[in-house]
Amino acid sequence: MTASAVPAPTPTSTGEMSRIRGLKTRRNAELGLLVFAMLLVAAFGATVEANQFDEIRPGFWLPAALIGTLFLGLHMVVRFTAPYADPVLLPAVALINGIGVAFLRRLDIARAIAQETPEPGLFADTSGRQLAWTLLSLVLASVLLLVLRDHKIISRYAYTLGLVGIVLMMIPAVLPEDYSEVNGAKIWIKFGAFSIQPGEFAKLALVSFFAYYLVRKREVLSLASHRFLGIDFPRGRDLGPVLTVWLFSLLVLVFEKDLGTALLYFGLFVVTLYVATERSSWLIIGLLLFFGGVYVAYLLGAAIGGPFANFYDRAELWLDPFSQENYTRESGNSYQLVQGLLGLGTGGLFGTGPGAGSPGKVPEVRTDFIFAGLGEEIGLFGLSAILIIYLLIVERGLHAALAVRDSFGKLVAGGLAFTLGLQLFVILGGITGLIPLTGQTTPFLSAGGSSLMANWLLIAMLLRISDAARRPANTPAERAGGPKKAPTQLHGAMTEVIKP
Amino acid sequence: MPEFVLTVARFGFLILLWIFVFTVVGVIRRDLFAGGRTKSIVASPRGVGGAVLQGRPAKAKRGKAARQLVVTAGNLAGTRITLGEAMITIGRAEDSTLVITDDFASARHARLVPREGQWFVEDLGSTNGTYLDRGKVSGPTPVPLGVPIRIGRTSLELRP
């Protein structure tokens, strides 16, 4: 196996042999964890069958085996194209994706039983479609890993990607509502029965662009500052880009009627800025700007309505979901939010057990509210485990950012990992009533192709960067004229230095 | 299906889920400390052959250990730092052990780490690189006595 292929030090070698970590590829650990994850998915399926059909049928392991085969395919691709990649990322994401598909299948089965139709086949209904999306996502991720052998190549297309990101982000805002609005949020492009959320892909492009821009400007942004109240504040003219992005995300908030997306883009930029400059003042400025802007939007919504009305309504529902008025309103009531909260409450500490609850009562339980539905069945205990797995995925992303040697890779990995965490915060905060609810997808869990594809691409990028981070500085393959290393100072060379 | 089986399945799944979490944490842990066990983890400086690498433990004997870090060229020429057990960070950042005001140095440029009586220099992703004698440092590299470490216009040396 390639996993144990440690480059043995030869007496004639004189160059830098290796770095401290990363001698081992750990691919076998990844394989083991992947098998474990698929066992968990099979166990979930078995419990569902026990609760729904009152028997565990001999074919209960088929869905898990099927999706496991797909992940195994990606594992093989990683083995050959990114042998030093982080061993934890793939299995952890595979577990969440697998549980998502299994839970969707459980919902399909329950619906079929309720409607007294025959049990849906493996490839039918929502779970079947999700399985197909998973296959497509894994193919995309493999292609990315195969084509992109060095993450620094992306920086060459940074401005193109920035433009693509902005265009993708703007399309739903300018399209007529018939083609872009679902449940009051204009974040879709719909053609016929098919619809995609371009914003999911836009964030990947924007992270790459922000990273490139900030690598070039980091010195200016972090050195030129004046001190006020013990915090280093940047100069006025350096605030330009931040203010632009802030304005942009507020426009998104108003025209796409989606607080979550706005928070996602703005948070992404501010955090990348913070990572690039190591100045906490950016975080403070960003938070103040965002909450100020949101509060003003809320006041405007109360006073003049118009484009701000949707956000005002959502904030009202968030403030008091259980009030009679909010619950029984004609349109845009808090029924969904309340059902989700009741579902989580029913689950309690240990949940009703997979397949034993009634998550079908929550509207949109397949997409936005999948966490509430899952929470009813696996309880706080299970949900915390899932959350910790998410946390570990984000942590591995940040770890790759810390360990990788070029600043562009650092910013991309940090930005991507943070986006994943922030998106999770936005949707879970919405479901649990911590922040106003906005329709974000739960990464890897909820039904939906765009989200799944975009997030698997994100994981493929993290795998690529973590491979670069853990790879020994000078492997024998490279010495023998393998892939050439790009000059390490490619992106640092253009920084402008200003003395404080 | 008997109630007992359902209960076992329900809790069994949760327990398995947590075992998975701890297995993942275990893998991460092993990954973090993987480097600490092996002996030949560090590179020999460029131009120094493997034979010297094998002779390294002898070189790091007591009496010949580095006691001082001396700045031999640059703005801070003449500065001396007495070496202890702690790591030395070098860079423009104010919290560095050795703050150098050099236009060609990064905020966190390089660090010197002691291990078993031997000091290792390690570049911290600096823009312009760290050089040990003539070779560029790309991993933790042992620093022999009297060999200059170059950071921008600044030169440093270990002295007994």
Chain A residues touching residue B22 (CB < 8 angstroms): none
- Alpha-carbon distance of A424 to A477, in angstroms, equals 40
Please judge whether A51 and B6 are an interchain contact, meaning their C-beta atoms are less than 8 angstroms apart: yes
Of the candidates A33, A222, A488, the beta carbon closest to that of B27 is on A33
Taking only the tens place, the pLDDT of each residue in A196-248 is: 888 888 888 888 888 888 888 777 776 666 666 666 666 666 667 667 777 77
Chain A residues touching residue B107 (CB < 8 angstroms): 222, 278
Q: Is the pLDDT confidence value at B34 over 70?
A: no
Asked if the C-beta of A465 comes within 8 angstroms of chain B's C-beta atoms, the answer is no
Q: Is the pLDDT confidence value at B133 over 80?
A: yes
> Between A10 and A324, whose confidence is greater?
A324
DSSP class of A487? P
Taking only the tens place, the pLDDT of each residue in A249-264 is: 677 767 776 777 778 8
Chain B residue with CA closest to A42: the answer is B13
> How large is the average pLDDT for residues A21-38?
83
- Is residue B97 a part of any domain in this protein? yes
- Is residue B63 a part of any domain in this protein? no
Q: Which residues pair with A190 in a beta bridge?
A: A195
Asked if the C-beta of A140 comes within 8 angstroms of chain B's C-beta atoms, the answer is no
Confidence label for A487 from pLDDT (cuts 50, 70 and 90): very low
- Is residue B133 a part of any domain in this protein? yes
A10, A12, A16, best to mutate vs chain B, most B CBs in 10 Å: A16
> Do residues B34 and A21 touch, judged by C-beta distance below 8 A?
yes
* pLDDT at residue A384 in the model: 94
Question: Looking at the predicted complex, does its ipTM rise above 0.85?
Answer: no
- Is residue B61 a part of any domain in this protein? no
Full residue range of the structural domain in which residue B146 is found: 68-159
* pLDDT at residue A478 in the model: 44
Please judge whether A21 and B35 are an interchain contact, meaning their C-beta atoms are less than 8 angstroms apart: yes
Written as six digits, the tokens of A274 are 């913070």
Q: How many other C-beta atoms lie within 10 A of the C-beta of residue A496?
A: 11
* pLDDT at residue A316 in the model: 85
- Alpha-carbon distance of A145 to A77, in angstroms, equals 8
Burial class of residue A78 (count of CB atoms within 10 Å of its CB; 0-12, 13-18, 19+): buried
Written as six digits, the tokens of A239 are 């605030």
> Between A100 and A478, whose confidence is greater?
A100
Query: Which CATH number fits the domain that encloses residue B126?
Result: 2.60.200.20
* Nearest-neighbour CA in chain B from A354: distance (Å): 7
Provide the residue ranges of all domains of chain A, joining segments of one domain with +.
156-292
Chain A residues touching residue B49 (CB < 8 angstroms): 14
Q: Is the pLDDT confidence value at B59 over 60?
A: no
pTM (2 d.p.) = 0.74
> Between A264 and B26, whose confidence is greater?
B26
Taking only the tens place, the pLDDT of each residue in A345-394 is: 998 899 888 888 888 888 888 888 899 999 999 999 999 999 999 999 99
The rounded mean pLDDT for chain A is 81
* pLDDT at residue A145 in the model: 94
Taking only the tens place, the pLDDT of each residue in A393-451 is: 999 999 999 888 888 999 999 999 999 999 999 899 989 989 888 777 889 998 888 88
A306: Cβ contacts below 8 Å, ≥ 6 apart: none
The rounded mean pLDDT for chain B is 76
- Is residue B58 a part of any domain in this protein? no
Look up tokens 């921008």; give the residue.
B152
Number of residue pairs across A and B with CB atoms under 8 Å?
151
